[in-house]
Amino acid sequence: MAESICRSLRDGALEGELAPTLTIKDSLASPFSFNVFSHILLQLSSQKSQSHGIVIVALSRSPSFYADLLKNKGVELSSSNKWIHILDCYTDPLGWKDKARKSGNVNVVSDQISLATSSYKSVKDMDKLFLAITDLGRGLVGENKVRFCVAIDSLSKLLRHASLQSVAGLLSNLRSHDQISSIFGLLHSDLHEERATAALEYMSSMVASVEPDHHSSENCLSEKNFTQGKFSVRSKRRNGRVRETSEKFKVEAEGISFASISAEDGTTVAGLLPKVQFNLQLSEKEQIDRAKVVLPFEHQGNGKPIQIYDGRRSLEESSGEGAPISRCKNEDSALGEIIYFRDSDDEMPDSDEDPDDDLDI
């Protein structure tokens, strides 16, 4: 649940414990991890939490984008310098513009951003990045036991610039830092090898997956997939238990909204049946009638000898011949008897189960 994730992040870390870490995972079929990221960022900015400051490591969005995001949500930017600081790894991550400036070719362009921003120009160096993040954080909250939160704009971008080991090392160092309250970042699962995604998921205490409603094999680009989908969260509790929950989400102009999956959505399974002009389902009455049908070999006998017609004249022959596959016992009695054990009682009609599955060859 989105609300519970925000709560966990707000509650932060206990003394001597690793900081709760959230990875928001998406794919091209439903690329909304950034919407979720912004939502969580806004929640943490506006509500009381263990952390007294947020450091945003901006790699895929400009600092002015974050300034606009906060401003549009009514967050007071003039006092924001006290609790939010952006590490700008977007504008000049590799120092190219810096070099151009030094060689005298280009003039410096000053950006009027209302949020406190520090540029960072060596995005390939994870150790330096760690120092930069922690320095900024300490600058915000001071040296005491006060904690700050770290938001990483895109773990995918970090993985592109540095090896998996160094990114994992960075995350690990951040988690064990005693002044970091919580960490959250987003990841595009289809840009990396599975092991990279798995490694980062393993290091996170919470993994939120953004998925489309229906996984279609064809071109997944429909307007529906671009406005809504499924939001699944897998969180590891302190006692070691893993909890999985799912919600629906909808992306609107104002932001992203979450709703629990209601019972009607359970009918999505029924929705997978082909839409044809005849009815493939059974109504209540039909189900009752079907249950009432007396199958052959299930005659109660009624005192009369059971007569099975097996296609031959001699109806008085011993029963048992022409009997169907399922278990039937022939008892040694004067009258032949078939005791028919139906084993298909709990099988749904039109089920695809292979009846030979229980053969013990």
Kindly list the residues in this chain that would bind other proteins in the complex (CB under 8 A): 28, 31, 60, 62, 64-65, 90-94, 96-97, 99-100, 105-107, 109, 111, 156, 160-161, 188, 190-193, 219, 221-223, 226-227, 251, 253
**Terminal-to-terminal C-alpha distance of the chain:** 48
Give the β-pairing of 84-88 and 51-58: parallel
90 vs 148 by CB, closer to other proteins: 90
Query: CA-to-CA distance for 18 and 108, rounded, in angstroms?
Result: 42
Which residue's CB is nearer to other proteins, number 79 or number 110? 110
Rounded least distance, CB 25 to other proteins, Å: 13
Q: Which residues contact 113 (CB under 8 A, 6 or more apart)?
A: 63, 64, 67
User: Per residue in 234-266, is it b (16+ CB within 10 Å) or e — as a string?
Assistant: bbbeeeeeeeebebbbebeeeebeeeeeeeeee
| φ, ψ for residue 97, nearest 5 deg | -70, -35
Q: Least CB distance from residue 215 to other proteins, whole Å?
A: 17
Please, which residue, 98 or 337, has the CB nearer to other proteins?
Answer: 98
> Residue 127's closest CA among 84, 169, 71?
169
Indicate the residue among 62 and 173 with the shorter CB distance to other proteins. Answer: 62
In the complex with other proteins, which residue's Cβ is closer, 77 or 146?
Answer: 77
Instruction: Pick the closer one to other proteins by CB: 10 or 192.
Output: 192
Closest approach, Cβ 188 to other proteins, in A, equals 6
- Amino acid 200 reads L
Question: Smallest distance from the beta carbon of 125 to other proteins, in angstroms?
Answer: 14
Three-state secondary structure call for residue 258: strand
Least distance from other proteins to the Cβ atom of residue 169, Å: 20
- Which residue's CB is nearer to other proteins, number 52 or number 161? 161
CB of 2 to other proteins, least distance (A): 18
Supply the minimum distance, in Å, between the C-beta of residue 11 and other proteins.
31
Crossing angle (nearest 10°) for helices 33-46 and 2-11: 50
Q: Which is nearer to other proteins, 39 or 52 (CB)?
A: 39
Query: Shortest approach of other proteins to residue 29 CB, angstroms?
Result: 11
Q: Are 243 and 234 in contact (CB under 8 A)?
A: yes
Task: State the minimum distance, in angstroms, from the CB of residue 39 to other proteins.
Answer: 13
257 neighbors 36 (Cβ within 8 angstroms)? no
H helix or E strand, kind and range, residue 203: helix 194-203
Which runs of consecutive H residues, i.e. helices, occur in 245-325? Answer: 268-271, 284-292
CB-side exposure of 236: number of CA atoms within 13 Å?
14
**CA neighbours within 13 Å on the CB side: how many for 248?**
15
Q: Which is nearer to other proteins, 146 or 220 (CB)?
A: 220
Instruction: Find out whether 143 and 178 touch, Cβ atoms under 8 Å.
Output: no
**Spatial distance between the Cα atoms of 26 and 49, rounded to a whole number of angstroms:** 27
